[in-house]
Amino acid sequence: MEKKGYLLLADGQMFEGTRFGAEKDVYAELVFTTAMTGYLETLTDPSYEGQIVIQTFPTIGNYGVIPQDFESGKPGLSAYVVRECCENPSNFRCQGTLSDYLKEMGIPGLCGVDTRQLTRRIRNAGVMNAALLMEKTTGQMLFAQNEHEKLEPASVTKIMTLLLTMDAIDSGALAYDDVVTVSANAAGMGGSQVFLAEGEQITVEELLKCVCVSSGNDAAVALAEKVAGVTELFVEQMNNRARGLGMDDTHFANPTGLTAAGHVTSAYDIALMSRELLTKHPDIRNFTTIWTDSIRNGTFDLANTNKLIRWYDGATGLKTGYTASAGYCISATAEREGMELIAVVMKGETSDKRNTDAKALLNYGFSAYTLVSAAPEEPLPALPVTMGEAEQVGLTLPETGVTAVVEKAQASSLEYRVDLPETLAAPIQQGQQVGTLTLCSGDTEVLTVPILAAESVPGRSWGRMFTDLLKQAVFLA
């Protein structure tokens, strides 16, 4: 019997192959997982050769279960694996617990796994040329495959073009309503474009829209020339900014991503510049989340090249790219429940496969991980001060570096450990580290944050100490 894997979604459609875009039929090594009641489940027995059906459900009840769409990425979903393919898998029902059903049916190898094992299995599927999943706030990598392989990024290059443009706006060197006169060089750009004409006047804001929505090469060059005067100087700035971000796999040759000798980057570096753009310039979402719009007083329509903006819940951007040599690339970003993820896919075979892989990465991240804060619910108590102008000092935590990404299985069991001295001796400087706050999962330290003095406390002067001694002597008399 030919062995196949099937995925049934809530709309009743059947899809062959894996959730992660492999072209060939997949056997027992198929990895499909979602979060359920604090642990992950996946088929782990590579020796199993029966036909399998995978279906998504909310929870098991006494009267069976109802299929639910995996694309929602909501917690509480689970993957059920059955040995034989039913004629109508949508009618599959089971009572009792999943483990009881699997035991009764003799289905092997379903167990809870940690995400490191899961990541290895996804990586072994080999469905993406290069890919990476990163959490934006912490910069933590949640999945990586060939992340440092140097590849052509196509128009994903424009993330750096946008970053430098937004840097210039934030510094005051540029403004959204500044008018740009389009040069012959910009108007002559090939590839994706908004057909700017030489001498045409257009605002920086509309050019940003053209780059973010329609990936206009002519608009990207017009912005580059407005920021740096000429594209050569702008490209130099691009490479300098890349080095400053630690993008060691990157060399830019132009601001568009059109094919050029030596114009390469990596999935890791794309995630770095995507994170920088989103973190330093959150207003860029005003452009990257546009689905359709227009320029030239409504006479020229724009449609977003990133279809996830329309079809993926929580999508915030960011940039697609394609050339014949680069393949289909994307830096896809989405935010749910306060956590924003960056999914990078490079050298995809088709636009649909690229988008499917990006969605799979995002679904995995939102299903398996959550963002937690190390800040306790109750304020930190003030600490007594000796030999100071004040008797105590308030405590605070840094403004950044106080969040961590943890597996959802860990979130409910996290504990806080505060290490502080009984007293502090003055003088104390504002921002001085006086202790540590550690977020722990069992014996594992997840995150350690410095505890800082909230204000300065000068040491007592000789005159103040003499006065205090006199008061004490009078009191004792």
- Beta-strand (E) ranges in 355-419? 369-373, 383-386, 392-393, 395-396, 403-407, 414-419
Give the residues across from 451 on adjacent strands.
Answer: 435
Q: Are 164 and 238 in contact (CB under 8 A)?
A: yes
Helix axes 267-280, 158-171, angle to 10 degrees: 30
> What is the Cα 307 distance to its own chain's centre?
18
Strands (E), 48-195: 52-57, 78-82, 110-112, 130-135, 141-145, 179-181
Alpha-carbon span 92 to 82, nearest angstrom: 9
- Distance in angstroms (rounded) separating the CA atoms of residues 128 and 21: 8
Candidate list 158, 319, 347, 353, residue with the active-site label = 158
Picking from 166, 6, 208, the residue whose alpha carbon sits closest to that of residue 89 is 6
Q: In whole angstroms, give the CA distance from residue 166 to residue 331.
A: 18
Q: Which is catalytic among the residues 78, 136, 155, 347? A: 155
State whether residue 395 is helix, strand or coil.
strand
158 among known catalytic residues: yes
Residues forming beta bridges with residue 189, ordered by sequence position: none
Side-chain half-sphere CA neighbours of 432 within 13 A: 15
d(CA 340, CA 137): 7
Nearest to 97 by CA among 146, 128, 61, 71: 61
Q: At what angle do helices 204-214 and 217-228 cross, to 10 degrees?
A: 140
Phi-psi region of 165 (alpha: psi -120 to 50; beta: other; left: phi over 0): alpha
Active site residue 24: no
Between CA 209 and CA 213 the distance in angstroms is 6
Three-class SS of 218-229: HHHHHHHHHHHC
Give the active site residue among 215, 266, 331, 367.
215
CA dihedral 64, 68, 74, 76 (to 10 degrees): 10
327 dihedral zone (left: phi>0; alpha: psi -120 to 50; beta): left
300 pairs with which residues across the strands? 295
Query: What amino acid positions are annotated as catalytic residues?
Result: 155, 158, 215
